[in-house]
A and B are shown apart, each in its own frame.
Chain A
Amino acid sequence: MQTSTTDSTNYRREAFTSLALMIFALAILAESLTYPLTASQGGLENVWYVSPALFPLVVGSCILLLASIQLLKLFKTAKSQQQNVFRFSAESSYKLSQPSIDKFLLVLMLVGYVYGLIPNSDFVIATILFQLTLTCRFYLADAKKLNELLLITFCFVAALLFLTNLLVSFESDSSRLYIGDLISFPALGFVLYKTHCYLTANQQHKQIRILLFASVLLPIIVVLIFKYLLLVPMPSESSVLLLTDYFYYQVLGL
C-alpha cells in the first residue's frame, strides 16, 4: 500500500514536471517566434537560417518533443501498473515529512538571505544572521522553540527589508543600507542573546563556543580575507564594514 502511494506520488510529480516542461517549451517557441526570422535587422536583410530565432526554435521544439514522449511513456507505465497519474490523494499529499519541511525552510532561508538581507543591509550582519539561524537549526536540532524563534526573526527581517526596498524610495544606496542595518542589527542582537540564554540555561558551554566560532567568527574572518587580502568588495557595505575600513585604513594605516 505504502509503495503504491509512493509510486502514485512519483508518477504525479513526474507528470507535472513533464507538463511544466511542455508549457516551458511552448513559451520558448512563442518568445522565439517574436524574433526577426526574415525581416530586416540592423540594416541587414535576414534569412531564416541566420535568424537569432533559429536555435531557440530548435531547442524549444526538442524540449517539447522529449517532454511529450516522457509524459506518454509515463502514462503507459502507470497504466500497466494500474496507477492513476492525476488522481489527487488527500491522504498522501498533506503529510509533509521532516526532511521535506527542512528542504522547504532551507530554500526559504536562502531566498531570504540573497533577496532580502544581502542587498538591503551590511553583508557581515546579514551573513551572521543567516549563518546563526541555519547552523542552530541543524546543529541544535533539539532546541525546537529556539529554532522557531530564530527562523521567525530571520524571515521577518528578510521580508521587512525586501518590502522596505520595494515600497520606499531612498535617496541613495547608502541610506537604504543604513535603514536596513537599523532593522537587522537589533534582530541579530536579539538572536544572539536568545541563543546564549538557551545554551547557558542548558549548561551547553562548549556549544556556545562552537556556535560563536562557526556562525560569528568564521564569517567575519572570511569577509575580512576577501575584502582586505583578495581585494573583493562585499555586495553591500555599510555600518560594520565601514567600521572595519576605518580601522584598517585610518587606525592601522594599511
Chain B
Amino acid sequence: MIEQFQHFFTVLWGLATDPVNLLIVFAASFLGIIFGALPGLTATLGVALLTTLTYGLDVNSALLALLGLYVGAIYGGSYPSILINIPGTAAAAATAMEGYPLASKGEGGKALGLTTTASTIGTLFGLLILVLMAPLIASVALQFTSFEFFLLALFGILISGTLTSEGDALKGWIAGFFGLFLACIGRDTLQFFPRFTFDMPQLDSGLDIVPVLIGAFGIPQIIKVLAERKKLAQAKEFDSVVPEFSEIRKNSKNIARSASIGVGIGAVPGIGEDIAGWVSYGAAKGAAKDKSKFGQGDKSGLIASETANNACIGGALIPLLTLGIPGSAPAAMLLGALMLHGINPGPTLPVEKPDFLLEITAILVLASVAMFCNGMLLAKQVVKLLKVPAPLFMPFVAILCVLGSYALGLNVFNLFLMVPIGIIAYWMIELKYPISPMIIGLILGPMADENLRRALLTTEGDLLPMLSRPVSLILILIMLVVIFQQMPWFKSLLRKCCSAFKSQPNKEEA
C-alpha cells in the first residue's frame, strides 16, 4: 500500500514538474471548458477531435490532454447554464435550474465559484472510488469466462438502451443491436472471414471507431445547431469568481451523497453525466427541509448537480478500466484513444500494466487542479466566447470533424464513412433513438462475438453451462428483469407484489 502511494506521488510529481505536461493539461482543460461552454459542442466531440491530435504523443501526455479536456468540458457546461440558462452540455442541464436564478440575482460569480469547487471535489471523489473499486472489480473479472464476457457485453447494451431511451426501451435496444451489427463489419477475428465488406478492401479491418464516433456525435450536432438557428441570450454579468468554502462545508452531506450517486451512475455502462446530474439534483431536493427554495437559486441543488456530473467521470472509468466497457459516451471515446496507444483496458490490464491505474489517477488529479485554476482565473475569458454566434463556429467544427476523421488513418475512406454514419445518427436522434447504445454496441461487438463463439467452442455448442455459473446467472436474471420491466403485465405484477408486501406488516399490526 505504501509502495503504491509512493509510486502515485512519484508519478504525480513527475507529471507536475514537467512544463510540457503542465502546458498540455492546462491547455486541454481550457479547451475542454470552451467545448463545454459553447452550446452545441460536447465533451464527447471534444475528446473525439482531440484523440486525433494526441496520436503522436506518448501515452501519459495523450491521457493528460484527453482527461484534461474531458474534466474541463463536463465542468464548462455549467457556464452557459448559469449565465444564459442554456446548458452547454447535457450534463449541466440540472445546473441551470438553480444556477440561472442565482445569476439573475447578481450572484453569478458565487454560483460559478461553487460549481468550480463542487466539480473539483466531485472529480476527486470519483477518483478515490475508482482507485478503491477498480482493483477489486478487476480481480473478480479475472475469474470470468467467455460466457460471462458475452453476457456482460449484452448486459451493457441492454442497460444503456433502457436508461438512455426516452421512455421507449425498444428504441435503445435497437440502437444497441445496430451498433453490434456495425461491429460485425470486417473480417471476423476467429476465422478471418470477410463479413459485410462487399469486396471493399477498406472494410476488411472493420469500421474505425474514431470516424464513427465523430460522425455519430459531430454531424448531428452541426445539423441541429445550424438548422435550429437558435440565438443565445445575453450572458448575465458577474463579479469575480470566488470559491465559497463555508457553503461547501455546510453542504458536506449533500456533496457526499451527490458524489456517490455520480460514481454509481457513471459506473453503469452507457449512461453518463446528464442522468447523474438530474438524479442527484432530485435527491438534494428530496432531502431538503425547505423545498420551496428549489428553482429560485438554491445553492445545494447547484452543488448536487455539479458534484455528481464530475464524480461520474471516475465512475465511468471503473467499468472502462476493469472490464473494457465504457461507462459513458466520452469514456467510449477514451477507450478508442487508449486502444490507439496500445492499451487494452480490461481485467488483464492490472497484470499487463500494474501501475496504469495509479498513473490515470495522478493524471486525473492534475486535470482537476488544472480545471480548478482555469475555472477560477479564466472564467471571464470563456464567457466572452459565448458571444460568438453558432453560424461562425459550427462550420469550423465541421472542418475539424473532417480533419479528425481523416488524420487518424490518413484514409479518405474514413470521411466517406463518417458522413453516412452522421446522417444515420441524426435520423436516429430525430426519431428519439439514443446514440450511446449504438456506440456501446460497436465497441462491445467484437468482445460479444468472439466470446460467444469461444464459449460455445469449449462447451461444444451447449448453452446450458452458462446457467451453471453464478455471475452468468445473475447477469441473465438482471437482463430478464430489465426486459420484462418494459412489459405492462410485469409492471402491474410487480406493483401488486410490492403492495402485498407493504400491506403484510399492517395486517400483522392490526
Interface residues of chain A, those whose CB is within 8 Å of chain B, are: 13-14, 17, 21, 28, 31-32, 35-36, 41-42, 44, 46-52, 54-56, 58-60, 62-63, 66-67, 69-70, 73, 99-100, 102-103, 106-107, 110-111, 113-115, 118-119, 127, 130-131, 134-135, 137-139, 141, 210, 214-215, 218-219, 222, 226, 230-233, 235-236
Contact = CB atoms under 8 A, between A and B. Distances in A.
A12 to B, nearest CB: 12
B193 A41 contact: yes
Contact of B174 (A21, A55, A139): A21
A69 B193 contact: no
B190 interface: yes
Interface stretch (B32-40, B260-268, B346-354, B408-416): B408-416
Contacts of A141: 229, 391
Contacts of B365: none
Nearest to A46: B191
Interface stretch (B11-19, B58-66, B92-100, B417-425): B417-425
A42 B191 CA distance: 8
The 4 A-B pairs at the shortest CB distance, nearest first, are namely A138-B391, A49-B456, A52-B193, A139-B391
Contacts of B219: 110
Contacts of A236: 412
B396 A226 contact: no
A198 to B, nearest CB: 16
B448 A55 contact: yes
7 contacts: A41-B193, A50-B453, A52-B188, A70-B170, A102-B227, A106-B226, A138-B394
Contacts of A17: 427, 431
Contacts, number: 163
Contacts of B181: 28, 56, 59-60, 63
Interface of B: 53, 56, 170-171, 173-174, 177-178, 180-181, 184, 188, 190-193, 195-196, 219, 222-223, 226-229, 389-396, 398-400, 402-403, 406-407, 410, 412, 415-416, 418-419, 422-423, 426-427, 431, 448-449, 452-453, 456-457, 460-461
Contacts of A32: 195
A234 to B, nearest CB: 8
Contacts of B229: 99, 102, 138, 141
Given A54-B452, A55-B448, A135-B395, A110 B422 contact: yes
A2 B375 CA distance: 47
A131 B453 contact: no
Contacts of B173: 62, 66
Contacts of A118: 402, 412, 415
Contacts of B190: 50, 52
Contact of B410 (A14, A41, A233): A233
A69 B223 contact: no
Contacts of A73: 170
B180 A59 contact: yes
Contacts of A106: 222-223, 226-227
B206 to A, nearest CB: 13
Contact of B403 (A44, A115, A138, A222): A222
Given A70-B171, A118-B412, A230-B56, A134 B395 contact: yes
Contact of A235 (B415, B426, B431): B415
Nearest to A101: B227
A159 B395 CA distance: 21
B395 A131 contact: yes
Nearest to B388: A214
A219 B453 contact: no
A226 B403 contact: yes
Contacts of B403: 222, 226, 232
A232 B170 CA distance: 42
A137 B394 CA distance: 12
A114 B222 CA distance: 15
A107 B426 CA distance: 10
A42 B457 contact: no
B170 A69 contact: yes
Contacts of B415: 114, 118, 235
Contacts of A13: 431
Nearest to B193: A52
Contacts of A58: 452
Contact of B419 (A70, A110, A130): A110
A55 B452 contact: yes
A113 B460 CA distance: 51
B448 to A, nearest CB: 7
Nearest to A215: B395
Given A107-B223, A214-B396, A218-B396, A235 B457 contact: no
A49 B227 contact: no
Given A56-B184, A233-B410, A63 B178 contact: yes
Contact of A49 (B178, B188, B406, B453): B453
Contacts of B226: 102, 106, 134, 138
A55 B192 contact: no
B431 A14 contact: yes
B448 A66 contact: no
A63 B184 CA distance: 14
Contacts of A130: 395, 398-399
B223 A235 contact: no
Contact of B461 (A47, A62, A235): A47
A47 B177 CA distance: 24
A131 B418 contact: no
A178 to B, nearest CB: 18
Contacts of B448: 55
B193 A35 contact: yes
